């Protein structure tokens, strides 16, 4: 009995540690006061101010577009990589390929960001594309990062699935493409969807890589937020934070739901 | 019981490897003859995996409508052969003929051959009915006929009313039936079964084995089963090929293989027989390890003899001479119909001896007994 109570206290403290700052942020988003850490009564005025702030809204829309594009590209690249790693057997260079795919997961973001910046600059000098830094380069950079996550998720999903399933399909008259379409794809669809959501969230959150590879035309929401901070905090930032917390929470919840273990 | 001890002749394995498409005929000493036109013919199939030779110029013919077992340990090449017949592996050399047509280069989806996988490989995202209908859909069978054939196939394996279930809602035995139905609904001329009873528990194996044979008779398809379990192979198949190192060690009716193993390897793989090495001389066979002289029909060049435990009798009084030996009972295991005795001869070899229950209580541990057998029960092994 006493042990149960101690455990509950420990759990409560742990959750408080994790969630108190976020809850505080959300709570102050509804404060009427001009100082973002001072309670001035309930109000939605900062949400209204946020909606009226064209710069922020534009940045948010750009962020959403980049996130969607980057996540889609990441699913294509990462899905193919995960499939190759799980199903192609021990091909030449498999270990190196696996390590390189996973590199963005372990490399510090400043390193990833800097190296991508160097690559984009070199590419522009060599073939003239991508021209300058902006939304395109941010999208490509985020797709690189997201592909690593998608590859891991898809590979894990395929590793769980019986590899004779595709053979069984072919045995029953399916060409390899039909077998992929009717058996493999439905099997990894939840992993692809979850991977898309993860990549989307990563892109929406990222400020480090984006700061390296974005230009004047590529101000994403986190970058806009950061520059606002330098000029001084307003409760608009709190409101924005609350909206982002809500969005990211929904995304991660959906991803967890899609990746939940199934019977059989 | 058995005829004269010959390793070749009318009761030996049939001569295989000719590319003629004539009927296959084989008959064991007391098994039913298997006669039929050649359905599948493997000619000098060779397959290497790196330095390993999985199949070594293997020749094999399967008759239409027979139940054939490929028996062997791991690494014997049996699974490789199955995968080559299904089309999942390409042979490095040799040909595979189905109805006389070379299918060596035909991809698996274009072969009129279906396979039941060891893991059953049921599609987890499809219902039972959709699993069974999968192949018919690929073949473009119209919806009405598809539904009828799926229903028929499920009825054939006794799974009416299961069509809306998903694979994870089925027991192991039910999954196996769905996998069978999914293959049989394609009406294959040749059905490949990879360890069909391997994943079932003991109680279900015997029943499923009989059901497999009934299905094979009902459909008229040739069944080719891969198994490592000699009891399973002998119980189910019309003909058995025992594989060793990518070659056929022996091929024949189950009874023929059981009664007349062609080599030490076969005798040992089938498990039960006592295999004793020694030297043949003047129609006799001397086994120094057991201190036994075997008399019987021992051709020159015999390197070992096999003697089944149930052929060895415990004599009322120890006697000396050929086909006789003394030994001490080391252990007794009760098996229901009989008891299995481990008897160590004076020379030190251990013989397995079956003592039937109807002959009374077996001798106790430590007892010294005399053993004897008929000359006709000694199987001479030339290799």
State yes or no: pLDDT of B137 exceeds 50: yes
Superfamily of domain B272-381: Nucleic acid-binding proteins (2.40.50.140)
Residues B340-359: pLDDT tens digits? 999 999 888 999 999 998 88
Query: Which residue, among B372, B203, B186, has the nearest Cα to B294 in the 3D structure?
Result: B372
Residues B276-303: pLDDT tens digits? 998 888 888 988 888 898 988 888 888 8
Decide if B109 and A263 are in contact by the 8 Å CB cutoff. Answer: no
Distance CA(A42)–CA(A27), nearest Å, equals 9
pLDDT confidence of residue B28: 44
Decide if B168 and A263 are in contact by the 8 Å CB cutoff. Answer: yes
Residues B66-87: pLDDT tens digits? 999 999 999 899 999 999 999 9
**B342, B331 in Cβ contact below 8 A?**
yes
- By mean pLDDT, which of B9-18, B138-147, B321-330 is the weakest? B9-18
Query: Which residue, among B374, B249, B252, has the nearest Cα to B315 in the 3D structure?
Result: B374
Q: Indicate which CATH number applies to the domain containing A248.
A: 1.10.3720.10
Coil vs helix vs strand at B313: strand
pLDDT confidence of residue A1: 53
Separation in Å, CA of B182 to nearest CA in chain A: 8
Mean pLDDT (chain A) is 88
Task: Tell me what the mean pLDDT of segment A35-51 comes to.
Answer: 86
State yes or no: pLDDT of A16 exceeds 80: yes
Separation in Å, CA of A178 to nearest CA in chain B: 9
Greater confidence, A147 or A102?
A147
Separation in Å, CA of A74 to nearest CA in chain B: 25
Decide if A174 and B125 are in contact by the 8 Å CB cutoff. Answer: no
Decide if A187 and B125 are in contact by the 8 Å CB cutoff. Answer: yes
**A101, A81 in Cβ contact below 8 A?**
yes
Give B287's strand partners. B292
Separation in Å, CA of A87 to nearest CA in chain B: 15
Overall CATH class of domain B24-112+188-265: alpha beta
Coil vs helix vs strand at B203: helix
Pairing of strands B324-334, B368-372: antiparallel
State yes or no: pLDDT of A172 exceeds 90: yes
pLDDT confidence of residue A13: 93
DSSP B86-100: HTSS--SEEEEEETT
Decide if B119 and A162 are in contact by the 8 Å CB cutoff. Answer: yes
Residues from chain A contacting residue B122 (CB–CB below 8 Å): 168
Query: Which residue, among B217, B197, B194, B214, has the nearest Cα to B206 in the 3D structure?
Result: B197
pLDDT confidence of residue B26: 56
Q: Is A186 on the interface with B (CB under 8 A)?
A: yes
| Residue A44 domain-assigned (yes or no) | no
Question: Which structural domain, as residue segments, surrounds residue A84?
Answer: 53-259
* Total structural domains within chain A: 1
Separation in Å, CA of A72 to nearest CA in chain B: 24
Closest Cβ opposite residue A174 in set B87, B115, B138: B138
Decide if B88 and A167 are in contact by the 8 Å CB cutoff. Answer: yes
- By mean pLDDT, which of A98-102, A233-237, B219-223, B311-315 is the weakest? A233-237
State yes or no: pLDDT of B18 exceeds 80: no
| Residue A21 domain-assigned (yes or no) | no
Residue A263, Cβ density class (10 Å: 0-12 exposed, 13-18 middle, ≥19 buried): exposed
Coil vs helix vs strand at B353: strand
Closest chain A residue to the Cα of B139, Cα to Cα: A173
A residues 6-65 near B, CB within 8 Å? none
Q: Is B9 on the interface with A (CB under 8 A)?
A: no
Residues from chain B contacting residue A170 (CB–CB below 8 Å): 87-88, 107-109
Decide if B115 and A169 are in contact by the 8 Å CB cutoff. Answer: no
Decide if B123 and A183 are in contact by the 8 Å CB cutoff. Answer: yes
Please report the ipTM that was assigned to this predicted complex: 0.81
* A256: number of Cβ within 10 Å: 11
Q: Is B117 on the interface with A (CB under 8 A)?
A: yes
State yes or no: pLDDT of B322 exceeds 70: yes
Mean pLDDT (chain B) is 88
Torsion (CA) B88, B89, B94, B98 in degrees, nearest 10: -10
pLDDT confidence of residue B13: 41
Pairing of strands B247-252, B239-244: antiparallel
pLDDT confidence of residue B25: 61
> Sorting pLDDT into bands at 50, 70 and 90, what band is A179?
very high
Give B353's strand partners. B341
Residues from chain B contacting residue A173 (CB–CB below 8 Å): 109-110, 135, 138-139, 186
Coil vs helix vs strand at B58: strand
Closest Cβ opposite residue B109 in set A174, A187, A264: A174
Structure letter (DSSP) for residue B366: T
Coil vs helix vs strand at B354: strand
Decide if B108 and A178 are in contact by the 8 Å CB cutoff. Answer: no
pLDDT confidence of residue B10: 40
Distance CA(A252)–CA(B58), nearest Å, equals 57
Q: Is A172 on the interface with B (CB under 8 A)?
A: yes
Q: Is B270 on the interface with A (CB under 8 A)?
A: no
Structure letter (DSSP) for residue B195: S
| Residue A13 domain-assigned (yes or no) | no
Q: What percent of chain A has pLDDT over 90?
A: 44
Structure letter (DSSP) for residue B67: E
Report how far apart the first and last C-alpha atoms of chain A are (Å, whole number): 37
B residues 214-233 near A, CB within 8 Å? none
> Domain residues of chain B, as ranges?
24-112+188-265, 272-381
Distance CA(A130)–CA(A144), nearest Å, equals 15
State yes or no: pLDDT of B382 exceeds 70: yes
B354 contacts: CB under 8 Å, gap ≥ 6? B309, B310, B312, B338, B339, B340, B341
State yes or no: pLDDT of B122 exceeds 90: yes
Cis bond before residue A130 (omega within 30° of 0): yes
Beta-carbon-side half-sphere exposure of residue B219 (alpha carbons within 13 Å) = 26
Query: Which residue, among A11, A15, A37, has the nearest Cα to A235 in the 3D structure?
Result: A37
> Sorting pLDDT into bands at 50, 70 and 90, what band is A56?
confident
Per-residue buried b or exposed e for A225-248, using 16+ beta carbons within 10 Å of the residue's own CB: beebeeeeebbbbbbbbbbbeeee
State yes or no: pLDDT of A223 exceeds 50: yes
Residues from chain A contacting residue B135 (CB–CB below 8 Å): 172-173
| Residue A91 domain-assigned (yes or no) | yes
State yes or no: pLDDT of B132 exceeds 90: yes
């Amino acid at each position: 009995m006493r042990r149960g109570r101690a455990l509950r206290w420990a759990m409560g403290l742990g959750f408080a540690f994790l969630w108190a700052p976020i809850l505080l942020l959300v709570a102050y988003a509804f404060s009427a006061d001009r100082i973002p850490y001072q309670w001035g009564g309930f109000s939605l005025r900062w949400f209204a101010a946020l909606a009226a702030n064209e710069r922020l809204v534009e940045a948010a829309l750009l962020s959403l577009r980049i996130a969607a594009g980057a996540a889609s590209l990441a699913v294509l690249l990462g899905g193919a990589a995960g499939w190759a790693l799980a199903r192609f057997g021990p091909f030449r260079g498999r270990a190196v390929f696996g390590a390189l795919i996973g590199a963005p997961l372990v490399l510090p973001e400043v390193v990833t960001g800097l190296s991508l910046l160097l690559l984009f600059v070199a590419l522009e000098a060599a073939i003239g594309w991508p021209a300058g830094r902006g939304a395109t380069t941010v999208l490509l950079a985020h797709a690189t990062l997201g592909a690593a996550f998608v590859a891991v998720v898809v590979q894990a999903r395929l590793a769980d699935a019986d590899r004779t399933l595709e053979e069984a399909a072919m045995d029953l008259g399916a060409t390899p493409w039909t077998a992929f379409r009717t058996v493999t794809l439905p099997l990894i669809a939840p992993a692809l969807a979850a991977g898309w959501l993860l990549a989307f969230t990563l892109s929406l959150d990222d400020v480090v890589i984006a700061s390296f590879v974005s230009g004047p035309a590529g101000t994403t929401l986190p970058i806009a937020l950061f520059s606002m901070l330098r000029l001084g905090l307003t409760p608009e930032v709190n409101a924005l934070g609350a909206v982002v917390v809500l969005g990211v929470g929904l995304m991660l919840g959906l991803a967890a739901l899609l990746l939940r273990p199934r019977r059989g | 019981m058995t005829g004269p001890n010959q390793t070749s002749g009318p009761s030996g394995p049939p001569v295989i490897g000719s590319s003629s498409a004539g009927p296959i005929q084989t008959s064991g000493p007391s098994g039913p003859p298997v006669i039929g036109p050649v359905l599948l013919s493997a000619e000098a199939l060779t397959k290497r995996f790196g330095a390993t030779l999985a199949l070594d110029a293997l020749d094999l013919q399967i008759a239409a409508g027979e139940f054939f077992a490929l028996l062997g340990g791991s690494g014997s090449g049996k699974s490789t052969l199955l995968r080559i017949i299904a089309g999942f592996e390409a042979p490095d050399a040799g040909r595979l003929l189905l109805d006389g047509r070379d299918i060596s280069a035909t991809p698996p989806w274009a072969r009129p051959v279906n396979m039941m996988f060891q893991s059953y490989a049921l599609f987890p995202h499809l219902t039972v009915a959709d699993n069974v209908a999968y192949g018919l859909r690929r073949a473009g069978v119209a919806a009405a006929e598809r539904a009828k054939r799926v229903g028929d196939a499920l009825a054939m394996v006794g799974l009416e009313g299961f069509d809306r279930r998903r694979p994870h809602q089925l027991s192991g035995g039910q999954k196996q039936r769905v996998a069978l139905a999914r293959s049989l609904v394609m009406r294959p001329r040749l059905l490949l079964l990879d360890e069909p009873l391997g994943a079932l528990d003991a109680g279900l194996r015997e029943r499923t084995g009989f059901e497999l044979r009934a299905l094979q008779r009902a459909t008229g398809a040739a069944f080719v089963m891969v198994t490592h379990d000699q009891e399973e192979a002998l119980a189910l198949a019309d003909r058995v090929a025992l594989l060793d190192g990518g070659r056929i060690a022996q091929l024949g009716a189950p009874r023929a293989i059981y009664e007349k193993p062609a080599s030490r390897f076969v005798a040992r793989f089938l498990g039960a027989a006592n295999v004793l090495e020694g030297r043949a001389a003047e129609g006799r066979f001397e086994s120094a390890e057991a201190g036994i002289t075997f008399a019987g029909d021992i051709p020159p060049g015999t390197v070992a003899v096999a003697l089944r435990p149930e052929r060895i009798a415990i004599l009322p009084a120890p006697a000396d001479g050929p086909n006789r030996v003394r030994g001490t009972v080391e252990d007794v295991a009760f098996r229901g119909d009989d008891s299995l005795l481990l008897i160590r001869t004076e020379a030190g070899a251990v013989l397995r001896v079956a003592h039937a229950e109807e002959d009374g209580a077996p001798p106790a541990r430590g007892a010294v007994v005399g053993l004897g057998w008929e000359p006709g029960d000694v199987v001479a092994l030339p290799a």
